[in-house]
A and B are shown apart, each in its own frame.
Chain A
Amino acid sequence: MSGRKAFVTSGGHADVMLVLLQGEGEGLDCYVVRRDAPGVRFDGRWEGLGMRGNSSIAVEFEDVVLDGDARIGDIGDEGALVPLMEAKALCTDVAARVTQGALEACGGQGYTPALPIERHLRDARAGAVMAPTNGVLRTWSGKAIAGLPVP
């Protein structure tokens, strides 16, 4: 397997990662890949606005040999898809709104590291842009509710 993944949480720290990849035939496969497997290389350093300790970095795969027994089987349960998509968008939007409200309630002190508000605010901003972004999720939810294929 060769290719690249972006924004891998715990990148360079986690011992194993599950990788979604194009299978040899149709459809996607999911494999367990060890961090120290030959051909696995993590790239860069996480410099996000918030979530600054989560090491969300890219990984590059070059001719990584996949073990047949490291393949993860069918994991689909699409019945819960719409509630899950809506929950992610709703909760992360609420977190952004609540931390903005806390900032305004605390005035100028909240805008400095004297209080943890500014950190919570930066951390909460990650939610809306973590893939799939909230805008994408709302489009998919609408399609699913209308009986159209997602995505």
Chain B
Amino acid sequence: MAEVAAGNVDGVLADVRDLAQALIAPGAAGVDRESRFPDEQLSALGQAGALGLLVPREHGGAGAGLVALARACEVVGGACASTGMVFLMHCVTTATVTGGGGESAADLLERMASGEVLGTLAFSERGPGRTTTPPSCGPSGATARFA
């Protein structure tokens, strides 16, 4: 897989389609049967630059928006839903870090764009629909209030 230049959204999407056909779809039945985390698939998506799809160009990503993400997720998730979900969560993590900024955002975004660091969200609480307040996590010693 050739290294993808930052900002090349169409090139990334084309590589994602190739990977879906060559690697992700053929591996989907095994991932499902063995409940196996799709490490190999994620590593290939990282090499193709897909893990930096939503990361701004100045941080080594493709600088794409949500339409490109929807296209990529349709292809990856259509080939293997587990890989698609892991990919999606990584991408929305990069988008959240981009939007929220913060001191360490630049370094983290570069490492997530290259595939060195895989990201995810830990937003959900136990019970249906419990993605929002009040979270059970908080300052130590105060959590009894939220449990």
Contacts from A to B (Cβ < 8 Å):
1-11, 13-24, 28, 30, 32-33, 45-47, 50-56, 59, 61-63, 67-75, 77, 113, 116, 119-120, 123-124, 126, 129, 131-133, 135-137, 151
Contact = CB atoms under 8 A, between A and B. Distances in A.
B32 A5 contact: no
A28 B136 contact: no
A70 B35 contact: no
B82 A54 contact: yes
Interface of B: 28-29, 31-33, 35-39, 80-83, 85-86, 89-90, 93, 96-97, 99-105, 108, 112, 117-126, 128-143, 146-147
A16 B123 contact: no
A121 to B, nearest CB: 11
Nearest to B27: A53
Nearest to B117: A15
Contact of A1 (B82, B130, B131, B138): B138
21 contacts: A2-B137, A2-B139, A3-B138, A4-B126, A5-B123, A5-B136, A6-B125, A7-B124, A9-B89, A13-B37, A16-B112, A19-B122, A19-B123, A30-B100, A33-B122, A53-B35, A53-B80, A53-B83, A56-B85, A119-B29, A129-B128
Contacts of A68: 103
Contact of B108 (A20, A30, A32, A123): A32
A46 B78 CA distance: 21
